[in-house]
């Protein structure tokens, strides 16, 4: 595992973000709990296999569909194991099945905080097929926000403060702007790993 983490450190690109300065200071910087990792090498060559392996179960035609997947092929399982090794500490108890969200071009995810009944301190998601914008807004101070550009084949990790104190959402295609630039969104699949509350 150490060589993999060492290699990932060398190819790591900084998170791509824009937003309110106070939010950037409190959430994205200095141990605030948000780690957005843009690491195409994590899934290059495997993203097609991840999507293909989902088959007809998550073919989004209207807005979005979601499912859980407990079994994956060897290539996909290898990618998911790399995600788990990056996002979760050793010995962390993970939620059994992997959560899969499939948004069509017109779909979007409304602002929400995942239930603490079903999910622990960390959410790690692979973004597949399309670039998208994730917006985080401080729960009781909506003037504090952060936009993250999630390139296709990127991994985002919401942890601790970012996971519990900020809503997260995926913007609609027509609202998909980053630093004044349009970011067209197509169909997007996210493959999400979580730990158990504890």
Phi/psi region, residue 129 (left: phi>0; alpha: psi -120 to 50; beta: rest), is: left
Contacts of 130 (CB under 8 A, 6+ apart): 152, 185, 186, 187, 188
DSSP string, 16-85: -EEE-HHHIIIIISTTSSEEEEB-GGGTTTTHHHHHHHHGGGG--SSSEEEEEE----HHHHHHHHHHHH
Q: Tell me how far apart the alpha carbons of residues 107 and 186 are, in angstroms, rounded to a whole number.
A: 9
pLDDT 10s digits, 168-191 = 999 999 999 999 999 999 999 999
DSSP 174: G
Mean pLDDT of 145-174: 93
Alpha-carbon distance of 178 to 182, in angstroms, equals 6
Cβ pair 101, 189 in contact under 8 A = yes
- Residue 124: which residues within 8 A CB-CB, separation 6 or more? 83, 84, 86, 87, 88, 155, 156, 157, 158, 192, 193, 194
**Whole domain around residue 148: which residue ranges?**
2-194
Full-model pTM = 0.75
Residue 118's Cβ-count burial label (10 Å; 0-12, 13-18, 19+) is: exposed
**Confidence band, pLDDT 50/70/90 cuts, at residue 30:** very low
pLDDT in tens, 95-124: 989 999 999 999 999 899 988 888 999 999
Phi then psi for 166, rounded to 5 degrees? -130, 135
Q: What is the mean pLDDT of the chain?
A: 78
Separation of alpha carbons 179 and 18, rounded Å: 7
Can you give the CATH number for the domain in which 33 is found?
2.60.120.590
Residue 57 confidence (pLDDT): 43
* Helix (H/G/I), strand (E/B), else coil: 87: helix
Q: Based on the structure, what is the number of domains in the chain?
A: 1
């Amino acid at each position: 595992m150490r060589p993999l983490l060492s290699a990932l450190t060398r190819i790591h690109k900084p998170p791509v973000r824009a937003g309110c300065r106070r939010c950037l200071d409190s959430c994205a910087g200095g141990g605030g709990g948000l780690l957005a990792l843009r690491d195409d090498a994590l899934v290059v060559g495997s993203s097609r296999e991840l999507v293909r392996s989902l088959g007809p179960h998550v073919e989004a035609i209207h807005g979005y569909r979601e499912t859980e997947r407990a079994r994956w092929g060897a290539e996909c399982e290898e990618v998911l194991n790399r995600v788990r090794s990056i996002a979760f500490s050793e010995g962390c108890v993970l939620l059994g099945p992997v959560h899969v969200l499939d948004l069509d071009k017109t779909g979007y995810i409304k602002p929400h905080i995942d239930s603490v009944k079903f999910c622990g301190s960390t959410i790690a998601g692979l973004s597949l097929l399309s670039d998208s914008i994730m917006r985080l807004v401080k729960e009781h101070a909506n003037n504090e926000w952060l936009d993250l550009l999630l390139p296709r084949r990127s991994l985002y990790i919401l942890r601790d403060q970012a996971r519990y104190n900020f809503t997260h959402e995926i913007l609609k295609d027509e609202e998909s702007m980053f630093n004044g630039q349009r970011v067209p969104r197509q169909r997007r699949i996210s493959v999400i790993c979580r730990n158990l509350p504890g």
